[in-house]
Structure 1
Amino acid sequence: MTIRSAIDQRVRQACEINRFEHKDQVLRFAAKMATVVTIVADILNLAAHVSLNALGLLPYALVPAAVVGLVISTVVASVLTFSVVYVIGLAIHRLTISRAMFERLSRTDMLSGLLNRRAFVDEVSRAPQDASLVLFDIDRFKLINDNYGHDVGDRAIVMVSKQLAAALSEKHIVARIGGEEFAALIVELTPTQRLALVERCRQMIEASKVGDDVAQLRVTVSAGIAERGSHDTFQSLFIASDRALYLAKASGRNRVVHFDPIQESMGKTSE
């Protein structure tokens, strides 16, 4: 393996494991590579002096010539290698930061700061079976926009987003999946505890203000919840949660309804 291929391999490895996320990592990597290349250069330099001396081609005494050669190879190899690797490392560092920022932006809803629909679906696909999917919908959102303006509507979305993010810790997944629609996957609790947590979210939103200038406005949400373990696909789970949300809306809004497949089948039979 040549020096060039060795450097190329190390840089590739560094990129693959995101070793260049911070500038101090770039500095350490450049120093390490400069040390390795310098040692190799010094060994080759010394070997060349010994070989030339053995062949009688060295015009100077071996020891002084070797010392001078080692000094030159050490300085040139260390400075040149460190400079080149550090500059390349900084470029990779900037690309890494840009890529991370792009990935974050591509997964984030700009207004709410929550995950967007695509990112939520990706996260749910990797989530455990023992979880609940919740769909939230702001009640009478069109009337809020019509009566108070779209700016107040946006502020209502932001308020609901903040309350959901505050109530649902990082172990849960929460996203804005539509205009006034939100979704959450709640994990690591019993079904009863998950239902209670969703009810707490509803109460927190109901008790919150959009702003002092619209103090008379009270924003509420309806929610439908279904258990992931009862459904084979995300589409089936989503449909169940959506049906529960529809029942919450039809039952007067500002409430949480849990999808019950037994009641659902009984309702269809009675029809």
Structure 2
Amino acid sequence: MAHSNALMKQKQKNSFILSFILIGIISVMEVISVWADGNPQKFWWINILSNYLGFALTPWVAFILGAAIGGFRKSKALFYIFVAYDVFLAISIPFGWIFGVSKDNIYFRGELFGLYLVIYMLGIVYLLFEIIHLTKKYQNKNRLLPYLIFLLLVFGTTIQVINPDVHVTWLCVTLLSSIYYIYCNELWQQVDGLTGLLNHKSYLNTIYTLNRDAMLLVFDIDRFKEVNDTYGHQMGDKCLICVADCIKEVYGDYGLCFRIGGDEFSVLLFHNTERIESINSAFCDKLTDCRKDIKELPLVSIGYSRYYKGDNIDDVIYSADKKMYQFKKRRKKECSQ
């Protein structure tokens, strides 16, 4: 399913596939360790190996899922910590520091069992921060989900710490990965692939279910076709990304930002609507700063209209579009004088 997913980049696909493979291995090792525990001594090495792989691999699932979002470069330090932990875990086996298996082939926890919990939770916290960053980056409304997932894992881990005979940690990790995969799929379906803003489908779903007061803004890049024809589509894409970044940076804290067409954008402003003029001015200043690096960046026309709960949203869109084209026409006239 992850392999054939067209919404994900190849690195993200590989991360999910690897995490699911690890979960499969961990699940098998969990079953084997339960079966081997207490059996004749000839199964001692199987008990040791299955427990080692379970303890060693479980923290990596959260790490790999987090790295799928944030990238490996941002998590190098954590990678080396996990590698060092796995090496220490292997060295500690004869001494039973983290876990051990007695001569009677009975599993027991060592005095440093807490180190495993620390490493495990370190991976979970890392994943939590990456999910929070992802939801903010892509303006996802369901921002409670990461915390619910985190609480689920803490709950499951606490149960297993209190009662070692209840094997639920791997089950929680499996559930986490499945929920996370579904969550990311849903998230990327709502996002424009080029700019990272919410896409046209998200825009339509949002405005036609709007049940609160808001300010609707529309943006159109002036003479964008000329940029594509003169400098090529690569420069055109660069300009689109730059405009989208400016929109999100200026308006993102106050509402939702969308790409609704080739060179058209929209914002639904829920907060600070009374400061609309100063916010628009800040956006124009931001574009001016960007032109120091991208001289080909065109001007952007803006129109806006206030929406009150119960208004006809199509009338509000028409009003905002009309103001935007009036703005464009007025500026064109000023430039020609």
The two structures have a TM-score, normalised by structure 1, of 0.60
What amino acid sits opposite 1:176 in the alignment? R
1:118-141 Cα shifts (integer Å, max 9, x gaps): 223444444631x31110011100
Q: CA deviation at 1:32?
A: 2.5
Which of 20, 26, 46 lines up with 2:153 in the alignment? 26
Contact kept in structure 2, 1:174 and 1:185, CA below 8 Å? yes
1:137-175 Cα shifts (integer Å, max 9, x gaps): 111000000000000000001111111111114232211
CA distance in 2, matches of 1:167, 1:19: 27
Which of 176, 197, 204 lines up with 2:286 in the alignment? 204
Aligned to 2:235: 152
1:54-111 Cα shifts (integer Å, max 9, x gaps): xxxxxxxxxxxxxxxxxxxxxxxx52xx32x333322211111111211211111121
Contact kept in structure 1, 2:216 and 2:305, CA below 8 Å? yes
Q: Does residue 1:189 correspond to 2:272, yes or no?
A: yes
CA distance in 1, matches of 2:309, 2:289: 33
* Pair 189,164 (structure 1): closer, same or farther in 2 beyond 3 Å: same
1:195-219 Cα shifts (integer Å, max 9, x gaps): 33123313321342284xx63x242
Q: Does residue 1:105 correspond to 2:184, yes or no?
A: no
* Pair 229,209 (structure 1): closer, same or farther in 2 beyond 3 Å: same
CA distance in 1, matches of 2:333, 2:172: 54
* Pair 186,27 (structure 1): closer, same or farther in 2 beyond 3 Å: closer
Contact kept in structure 1, 2:215 and 2:273, CA below 8 Å? no
Q: CA deviation at 1:190?
A: 4.7
From the CA coordinates, give the structure whose radius of gyration is larger.
1
Aligned length: 190
Alignment identity in percent? 21
> Higher RCO, 1 or 2 (CA under 8 Å, sep at least 6)?
1
What amino acid sits opposite 2:149 in the alignment? E
CA distance in 2, matches of 1:27, 1:230: 41
Contact kept in structure 1, 2:254 and 2:272, CA below 8 Å? no
Aligned to 2:325: 246
Secondary structure at 1:251's aligned position in 2? helix
- In the alignment, structure 1 segments of 5+ residues that lack a partner are 1-16, 39-77, 256-271
Contact kept in structure 2, 1:138 and 1:180, CA below 8 Å? yes
Aligned to 2:212: 128
CA distance in 1, matches of 2:333, 2:181: 42
CA distance in 1, matches of 2:160, 2:333: 62
Secondary structure at 2:230's aligned position in 1? helix
CA distance in 2, matches of 1:25, 1:230: 37
Q: CA deviation at 1:232?
A: 1.2
Q: CA deviation at 1:189?
A: 2.6
Q: Which moved more, 1:159-168 or 1:25-34?
A: 25-34
Q: CA deviation at 1:115?
A: 1.3
* Pair 250,86 (structure 1): closer, same or farther in 2 beyond 3 Å: same
CA distance in 2, matches of 1:178, 1:150: 15
Q: Does residue 1:162 correspond to 2:245, yes or no?
A: yes
The two structures have a TM-score, normalised by structure 2, of 0.49
Q: Does residue 1:177 correspond to 2:228, yes or no?
A: no
1:166-194 Cα shifts (integer Å, max 9, x gaps): 11142322111111111012233354x21
What amino acid sits opposite 1:155 in the alignment? K
CA distance in 2, matches of 1:108, 1:89: 28
CA distance in 2, matches of 1:229, 1:20: 33
* Pair 244,185 (structure 1): closer, same or farther in 2 beyond 3 Å: same
Which of 285, 291, 301 lines up with 1:222 in the alignment? 301
